[in-house]
Every structure is written in structure tokens, then in C-alpha cells.
Structure 1
């Protein structure tokens, strides 16, 4: 792919266990800080920083490989200098074609832990917005992301890959329903109402399996808004211990630097039967030591696998169609990239012909009337467009064949474009 040396470095659930992913996970502020550092201090362009519960990735354009430098900046941001022990968990995409393909697959949900997870597309959009705000998105990244958004729309309209409710939150519902199959009327507490928590509320509220589903969040107004949307009761955050005591199932997706639910907290409760804790947070919001309490069972994000449901089977069946649509989008992106490569030559040719046109018009400006001058302006512009048309068409055709080099050299020599470009710059 004729791109500006697009590359990526990726940490995902495929190579890194949860313990490593949570150490290197980035919140919103950290993503934006890393983005600015890579743009300003390393001088990278087309920078995109993406961090979710299952991945931390950086995309960038540069002739050189900045993987090590990016890892160093990431380690410094996280306050961890032992970089060497983490490097093996990352995958580096140093070829443009591979990096572009990977981002397409990530954004479509092909690379998600739950195949087709719809939240990832929103997370990619948010990451792109951060790049735009930081002036870190160049022409290539703009084109790439808009190609991805268009591809996402095609996938939704033309395949069954987006049908049904298969996501991390939905997979959690299926897991909890299976775990509590022996309970007549299980009670659920959803703690933390970010994207995943809010999504979980929607699915749990829509299930008739549970006697009660309560929501709890540090910010009361957020809890009330989500609760009102799904008709659920609110537990005040100050009453968290009481909520933990009453619930059979706790689904936590709290964004916190340290675990909110600790072994000590759970040990202080009266656990009379099994209590299921599901931690969807990265970093984890539930301490592993909670399982030291008799009757408490903990499930982390890595336990949320693609559930064998009809919805997911349809999605898996649609994967070849999704890959075919991605291939079409990448082919169009390649063609655009090649045309961008000859764009400077086209612009130089236009500038050269415009300069000649202006010089000729100046020779006659004192010899013609205003009406004649206007007519000359119109005629010479039309003539220039006709002269330009064939070289531009031939350049674009050569782009599609991947044979632009000889034609660019020929046009540059015929019209002395390098000399004319230098002349125009000196005049400017």
C-alpha cells in the first residue's frame, strides 16, 4: 500500500494476560497525554491512541520504526521502567498494509474478544476525535478513518454481522444466566456505569430471569439517568456494602486505579450462599483475594468469551462477507494513496501552466478592452483545463497500474516542473 509508512504497536488479549493488560491500560486522560507526547516530542504524524478493556494500541506514520520509543513513553506514562519484560506481549505492525488491515479488523469487531462487539467502533471514533483535537491526524489518517466508518456502515447494511446483541455486556448476561440457573430469583447489582456498565443495564433490565437489578455509581446523577432509562432502582454509592450483601451477582465495570471491592470488604459480609462477582474492568476493580471468602466466586474479563448463541453463530457465518467488504475498502484506499503520491506532480503542472497563462495575458492586458480581457480570461482557462485533462487522466490510470514513475519523470522533464516549482517558491 502506497501510504505514508503507516505502522502500529498493539497489546491485546490474544498475547497478553489480564494482569499485563491492566498494568498498561490507559484512561482518557492518559490516552490524550500519550497522543500529545508522540506528536510533539517524537514528531509522529497520523497518530491514533486506542485503549479498551482488551487492548492498548498506537498507530502512527513515520519512515522509521518508533516501536521502542513508543513503549518507552508508555512505560514512563504508567510509571514503570521495567520495559523489557512487557515488550514481548506487544505485536508490531511495521508494514502499512498490515497496520491498515489490523485497524479495519479492530474497528469492525473481528479482532474483539466477543466477535462483533459493537462498542469498539465507538471507541475508535473517540480515539480519532482525540487525534483531530490534538492536530495529530494528517490527510492519510482522515481518509483511513472515514473509509473505516463507511465500511462499518456497509457491514451493518449488507451483512448479518451486526444483528443481535452480542457484546461484552451481552456475553456477561449469558454467563450470569448460566451461573445462576439454580437460583429461583437472583438479585443483581451493576456497579459502574460507563459504556460497558450502561450496556449491561440494558441487557439485564430486559431479562425476566432476575428478581431485581440495581444500579450503583459514584456519581448519583449518572446512576439516576441510566436507571430511569431502563426502569431500574438506584443504590446510593454510600450504601455499597449493603448492596454487596444483598446481591447474588455483582457486575463491576468501575474505572479506578485500585480495586474498589477488596477481600477485606467481602470478608466483612455475611455470605450465606454463592455470590458471583463479575469484573469487567481493566485495571480490575475487584481484588483477586475476594475468592478467599467462602462462597464468593470471581470471574474476570477473560472469562467473558463468545457465548454459543444463534446470534454469534450468525456473526461468525458473516465474517467472510465482512472481510470481502474490508478488502474492497482497502483497495479503494490504495488507489487514493497512489493518486495522492502523484498529486504534487499534478499541482506543479497546474501551477506551471497557470504561470504561462498569466504571462501571456499580461502581454495583452494593455491592448484589449475590459470585455475582451474577460473573454481572454475565459478562453485561456478553458484551454488550460483541456491541456491538463489528458496528463491527469494518464497519471491516474498509471496509478491504478502502479506505473507512475516513468510518467512523472517524463512530465517533470517536459515541463521543467522542478525548476518552475523552485521559481514559484522564490517568487512567493
Structure 2
């Protein structure tokens, strides 16, 4: 495999863990909030890492960046989270150069999502890139890569059925409620946490359950009121949480806290209570299961729900792959050109200096010397020579690094590394 890296000393790595090998508890240890991502960016800058992107969702935590060794990125992640290097190594993956690029395309287009075709991840990539840019850690490579992944994701949404139908974590939770709770339209539902998953769950609940007995609680009341107003739902204060849990039949927890927000001591269950925890790290403590009437379902169990929608989606994976391959090919072509552009430019400058010296010499030596014609002819020769070299470097069977080194030696070129 050929190397796709910008500098001789650094390679491009993707390091991370996902739902595939790490359960919610382990993923929770490595999850990153915005301040943690900002800390990682600052530390990376001090270490001289050129280009870094961090993403953290309920399904995965990943760092994409340039380093001499992937351990530099692993250490950054472990120092900023609750997880240890040993725990990380048990469940982690590390991809390098071309494989790291391919991995980001797969993740960003929903092919690696816990529920196939769930495109929530693309907003995380956009947000991650925004944070990288803010800390001046978004180099042209990362910018181009993120843009191409976003482009592939848009094309897959528009040209395939990969995201058709309502299948997402939010929908899976509602499907679970519909399949397991009788007389749903008369049950009391309490939604605690109104982030993206909470909002989507709320919309799906209203659409599919024909239930208006939904109460919202959020630490910031205004956020809950903004959603409640749209659907004419009840909003209660955070201080009323314990009272409202007493009244409810179904509690959906979708908070973004780093520690459990719901535990046994908050619950007084005289009737059956179903709790759905849609958070990573887990926001419902396992001790609730010690209570007789309580049943608890976590996101990872919900994600195993499959239906006809997913069967339909799987059929469109090959179509999605073709789109990814097309967009990725464009990116790699750009990357190759970017790699040898400084050498070709330096070669052009060198030949232009030679041309100027020769024209100056002959204009003094020959009385009938036509400088304009000489300029046109020699300029065309320079274009043809540089084009030959560029075409040579673009050929897939050519070892680009060796060729670039040889061109620099032969023409004694000085390349500005920046």
C-alpha cells in the first residue's frame, strides 16, 4: 500500500473505539465532552501534532490526526478521559493513512453506525471540525477530507435508500415501547433530557403512540419549553424530577451527563416503571434493577432491534459503497497532486531561471535575435517538460517518494516545506 501522508515524519491515523467491541460502560469511560475536546486540541498543539479531529457520540469516540506514532494520539485520549491505555487497547482500533481515510468515509456515511444508515454522526464530524478550526488544528488535508466525507454522505442520502424510513436510536426506543407496552395512549411518559436524541424520541413518540400524556424535564427549563411549545406538552422543573417519576409509567432518559442522573433513591415505584436509558455514559444507575417494579433497557439493547426498514437499507449498501469509492478517488487524486505540487513548482521556477539566462545570453550575442519568439518557444518547452514529470508522478505504478527525491537531486531544487 502506498503512503498518503503530508510529511515524511508523520502519518495520518484514526484511533478509537466503538459499539462493536466496547459496551456502553467502556464507551462511557472514553466519552469526550466539548471542554475535553478543547483540552485535547491545546495539548496536541503543544506536542507539535499537525492536524487533529475529535468525535465523540453515544456509539464511538475517535481521534483523527497526524503523528509519528499512534500512541501519541492514544495517550492524549486516555489522559483526558476516565479510561486507561490498557482498557483502550482491549477494544480499540488503529488505522493508518489510506485505511484511516477509508474508515472516516465509512463512519461519516452511516455504514459503520450502530443502526445502519443513521446519519447523526455527520453533524458530529462537522462539530469536531469546527473545534479543530477554532484551535488552528484543521490543516488543508483534514478540511478537504471532512468536506469530501460530507459530500459522500449527502450523495448517499439523495441517491440511495440507505437512510429511508424512520430507523435511528430514537425510533428504536419508540418501537420498543410500542412493542412492549400495552394501552400506550393512556400511559404517562416522562422524558428527562432534551438533547438531539431526546428531541427525536419525543417527536417519534407523538407521531407513533397517539399519546399526549408526555412531560418534559431538562436541567435548563427553556430548552424543554422550546420543544414542549411545538407539541403542546407539559414542562416541569428539574426539582420536580422525583415527584414526576412517581407518576409516570415510562421514563426516557436522554441526558448528556458524565455520571448517572437517575438512581434507586429517586424512585418510588408502586406500579410498573419502564426506564429507557439513551445516554452514553449510562445515565441510569444499575441499582434501579433492585426495585421490584422497575425494568431497564439501554441503548445497546435497543440498537439490536431490526425490522423491514433495515433489511431494505442493507440492499443499498453496494450503491453507497460505489459513491464512497468515487468521492474517495477524487480526494486521493487531490492528495497526490498536493504531494508533488511543490516539487513541480520548484522545477518550473528552475527552468524559468535557465530560460531567462539563455535568452539574456543570446540577445547579447545575436544581432537579429527575436526575443518574443524565443520567449514563446521556451515557455512551451517548459510547460511540456513539467507536464511530463507531473504525468509520470500521477501514474499508479510509480513510487512517488523516490521519483520526487530524484527530480530534486537532478535539478538541485530547494523546496519550501511549508
Q: TM-score higher than 0.5 here? A: yes
Q: CA RMSD in A?
A: 2.9
* Maintained 8 Å contact 2:50/2:137: yes
- Give the corresponding residue for 2:52: 47
Paired residues for 1:199-348 under 5 Å: 199-266=200-267, 269=268, 271-348=269-346
What is aligned with 1:91?
A: 93
Aligned to 1:181, what secondary structure does the other structure show? Answer: coil
Alignment gaps of 5+ in structure 2: 6-10, 364-370
Q: Say if 1:353 and 1:384, in contact at 8 Å, map to a contact too.
A: no
User: SS of the residue aligned with 2:276?
Assistant: strand
**1:193 equivalent in structure 2:** 194
The answer on whether the counterparts of 1:335 and 1:400 sit within 8 Å (CA) in structure 2 is no
Give, in whole Å, the separation in 1 of the partners of 2:376 and 2:200. 58
TM-score by length of 2: 0.87
Q: CA deviation at 1:323?
A: 1.4
Partner of 1:56: 61
1:257-313 deviation line (CA, Å, top 9, x unaligned):
3211111111xx2x2332111111112211111111111111112112243333222
User: How far off is 1:57 after superposition?
Assistant: 0.9
2:368 corresponds in structure 1 to: none
Q: 1:221, 1:380 → 2: CA distance?
A: 71
Query: Structure 1 residues 86, 341: closer, same or farther in 2, change over 3 A?
Result: closer
CA pair 378-179 structure 1, distance change in 2 beyond 3 A: farther
**TM superposition shift of 1:354:** 4.2
1:21 and 2:1 correspond: no
1:34 aligns with 2:40: yes
Q: State the secondary structure of the residue aligned to 1:148.
A: helix
**Greater mean alpha carbon deviation, residues 284-293 or residues 346-355:** 346-355
3-state DSSP class of the match of 1:401? coil
Q: CA deviation at 1:382?
A: 9.4
Alpha-carbon distance, 1:221 to partner: 1.1
> Offset of 1:174 from its aligned partner?
0.8
Alignment partner of 1:88: what SS?
Answer: helix
Q: Which aligned pairs between 1:379-394 and structure 2 lie closer than 5 A?
A: 380=375, 384=379, 387-389=382-384, 391-392=386-387
Cα distance in 2, alignment partners of residues 56 and 293 from structure 1: 33
Which residue is 1:11 aligned to?
17
Matches of 1:274 and 1:155, distance apart in 2:
43
**Equivalent pair of 1:47/1:61 in contact (CA under 8 Å):** yes
TM-superposed deviation, 1:133: 1.5
What are structure 1's unaligned runs of at least 5 residues? 366-375
Aligned length: 405
Deviation at 1:334, TM superposition (A): 2.2
For the pair 1:138 / 2:139, whether they are aligned, the reply is: yes
Stretch deviating more after TM superposition (398-407 or 221-230): 398-407
Residues 382 and 286 of structure 1: CA distance in aligned 2, closer, same or farther (over 3 Å):
farther
Secondary structure of the structure 2 residue equivalent to 1:111: coil
Q: Look up the SS of the partner of 2:326 in the other structure.
A: helix
Spell out, residue by residue over 1:21-44, the C-alpha distance to the aligned partner (whole angstroms, 9 max, x if none): 111211111122112212322x22
| Structure-2 separation of matches of 1:79 and 1:121 | 25
Judged with a 3 Å threshold, the aligned counterparts in structure 2 of structure 1 residues 395 and 218 are, in CA distance, closer, same or farther, namely same
- Contact 2:263–2:284 (Cα < 8 Å) also in 1: yes
User: Equivalents in 2 of 1:244, 1:397: separation in Å?
Assistant: 70
Q: Give yes or no for contact 1:3–1:140 (8 Å, CA) kept in 2.
A: no
Q: 1:220 Cα shift?
A: 1.1
1:72 is matched with which residue? Answer: 75
Task: Give the Å deviation of 1:119.
Answer: 0.9
